[in-house]
A = this chain, B = another copy of it.
Amino acid sequence: MNGAESLVRTLVKGGVNVCFTNPGTSEMHFVAALDKVDGMRCVLGLFEGVVSGAADGYARMTGTPASTLLHTGPGLGNALANIHNAKKAATPMVNIVGDHATYHVQHDAPLTADIEGIAAPVSHWVKTSPDAKSVATDGAEAIAAASAAPGQIATLILPADTAWNAADGVADVPEIIGRAKVSDSAVEMAASALRSGEPTLLLMTGQALYEDPLNLAGGIAAKMGAHIMSQGSNARLQRGAGRVSVLRIPYVVEQALDVLKNYKHIILVGAKIPVAFFAYPNTPSLLAPEGCEFHTLADLSDDMVDALERLADVVGAKRSDAVRQEADRPGRPTGALDYDTIAAALGAALPEDAIVADESVTTGRGFYPLTAGAPPHCWLNNMGGSIGLGMPLATGAAVACPDRKVLCLEGDGSGMYTLQALWTQAREGLDVTTVIFANRSYAILKGELAKVGAGNPGRKALDMMDLSRPDLDWLMLARGMGVEGSRVSSADELNKALDAGLATQGPYLIEVML
C-alpha cells in the first residue's frame, strides 16, 4: 500500500466518505487510490471554489467533514474564498493539497509555492506530511482537527513522493475534542438576566438554530417574556411550520440598530457580540445600544443543547412553552416581479424538507418573512461574506441529501464567481433548482457607495457596479454546462418556472429578470 492509498483508507475509516476534487499531476496517486478503495464518493469540480464551497454545503448538512483534493498552492488559492466562508461558518473540512515531491521543491519549478503560507490564514490546522509512512497518521489527525467542536478547517499537504512511496497501513482517528459543557455560573448569569424584568434577547447561531434547541430557547423566551433572534448569517437554520421562528439581525446597520435598540441584556448562545458587516463613516461598528449587557451562555464550541436545557430547568421553562410558527403560505403572486412578489412565489412553492442555499444578496432581504410558514426546511447563509458560495454550497448540500430538494437563491453577480458549479450539478444529477436574480449589477454596491459617503457616482464608477453591456444570458450559460432552465419576467411565469424546477429530478435554473 502506498501513502496515497493509506490516506484514502484512513479517510474512509474515519468517516470521510466524499471527496470533492480538482486534481493535478501531484494528486495522481491519490486519484488512483480512489479506484482501489470502496466507500469514497468522488465529485469533480471544474474550479476549486466549487470544490471548497461544496465541501462546506456537504458538512453543514451531515455534520461530518468532506475532503477536498486540490492541486498545489494555486489550486488552494482558487479554493481560498470558500474555505474562508467555511471557516467563518465553523464547518469541518479536510483539505488534501498535493505538492511536488519533497526532493523537487528545492528546484523552484513553476508550480512551487508556499502552500503552508497560503493555507494558514484560512486553516485551523496545517501540516505537510514528511514521508509516506506518516501520511495515514497525518490524515487521521486532520480528521480529528476538522471534527473538533464546533468544526474546523484542516489542511494536509501531501508531497507527491509521500503519496507514491510505501506506507505502513491505515491509521485510527485520535480522540476528537467535542463540545464542552458550559459552567453553572454561565447558566445562572443568563437566568439572572432573564429574571431582571428588563428587555432581554437570546441571540443565537450554530447548533442553537436546530429544531430541538430552538424549542428550548422558544420555551425560555415564552416563559420569561424574552425574545429570540439569530445572527444575520447562520450556517444552518431549521425553520418553517411547526418550528420556532427566529428573526435575523438585518444587514442594513440602521435597521439592525433599530431592532436591537431596546435590549438591556443580550444572552449569547453561540453568537458573537453583534457587529456591522462593514464600517461606515457615520455609523457605529457595534450594533447593540450603549449600556446593553452581554451574557455568554455558550460559545460556538459549547454544547448549546445542554446549556439551553439547563437554562430552561433553572427558569422552569419547557419546550412545550415555545410559540411555534403556524403553517402559513402566501398566495401565489400575480403581476410584475418585485422583491415582494418574488418572496411570495418562493413562499408559496417551497417544498417540505427543502434546503435553501441563500446568496440572494440585495434581492433576498425580504424572503425570510414570506417563507416563515412554509413546510419545515433548512436555510443556509454565507457567513464569510465572500460572494460566490451559493451554487457550490447548494451542490454540496445536494450531494449530502439526495432525497431533499435544494433551492439555490443566487444573485447574478455572485453567481458568476463560481458558475462552474452547474456542471457538477449536471454530472452528478443533483436535485438543485437555482434561481438567479438578474438585476445586471452589483446592486448592493450602489447602496454601499452612497452609505460610505462616496458621493454621486459618475459613469466610470457606475460601470464598475454594472453587469450590463453585454447582459449575461444565464440560460445560455447553464445550457453550456448541461443544465436546462427558463427565464421569467412576471410573477406568473416565476410560479410556473418554480413548479417546473421543483418537479424536475435534477438541476434546473430559473433566470428572474429584474
Interface residues of A (CB under 8 A from B): 21, 23-26, 28-29, 31-32, 34-36, 42, 44, 46-47, 49, 72-75, 77-78, 80-81, 84-85, 88, 100-101, 103-104, 107-111, 113-114, 117-118, 120-122, 160-161, 164, 233, 272-273, 275-279, 281, 285-286, 382-386, 388, 413, 416-417, 419-420, 423, 426-427, 444-445, 448-449, 452-455, 457-461, 463-465, 467, 469-477, 479-482
Q: List 10 A-B contacts (CB under 8 A).
A: A25-B444, A35-B457, A78-B80, A78-B388, A84-B113, A111-B278, A160-B279, A161-B281, A164-B454, A423-B470
Give the residues in chain B near A475, CB-CB below 8 Å.
480
Q: A84-B73, A164-B452 are in contact. Are A384 and B32 (CB under 8 A)?
A: no
The answer to whether A279 touches B104 (Cβ under 8 A) is yes
In the bound assembly, the distance between CA atoms of A479 and B478 in angstroms comes to 11
Q: A417-B78, A457-B35, A458-B35 are in contact. Are A110 and B385 (CB under 8 A)?
A: yes
In the bound assembly, the distance between CA atoms of A285 and B107 in angstroms comes to 8
The answer to whether A460 touches B35 (Cβ under 8 A) is yes
A249 to chain B, nearest CB (A): 12
The answer to whether B80 touches A164 (Cβ under 8 A) is no
The answer to whether B80 touches A75 (Cβ under 8 A) is no
The answer to whether A464 touches B278 (Cβ under 8 A) is no
In the bound assembly, the distance between CA atoms of A233 and B479 in angstroms comes to 35
Q: A77-B81, A117-B121, A118-B118 are in contact. Are A31 and B457 (CB under 8 A)?
A: yes
Which 8 interchain pairs have the tightest Cβ spacing? A470-B482, A77-B80, A74-B386, A476-B480, A110-B385, A35-B458, A32-B454, A477-B480
In the bound assembly, the distance between CA atoms of A253 and B227 in angstroms comes to 68
Give the residues in chain B near A416, CB-CB below 8 Å.
46-47, 420, 423
Least CB separation from A101: chain B residue: B279
Least CB separation from A427: chain B residue: B469
A483 to chain B, nearest CB (A): 8
The answer to whether A42 touches B452 (Cβ under 8 A) is no
Other than the known A47-B417, A118-B118, what 20 A-B pairs have Cβ atoms closer than 8 Å? A28-B454, A31-B465, A32-B461, A34-B461, A35-B457, A42-B460, A44-B464, A74-B386, A75-B386, A77-B80, A77-B81, A77-B122, A78-B81, A101-B279, A107-B285, A110-B382, A114-B121, A416-B420, A470-B481, A473-B482
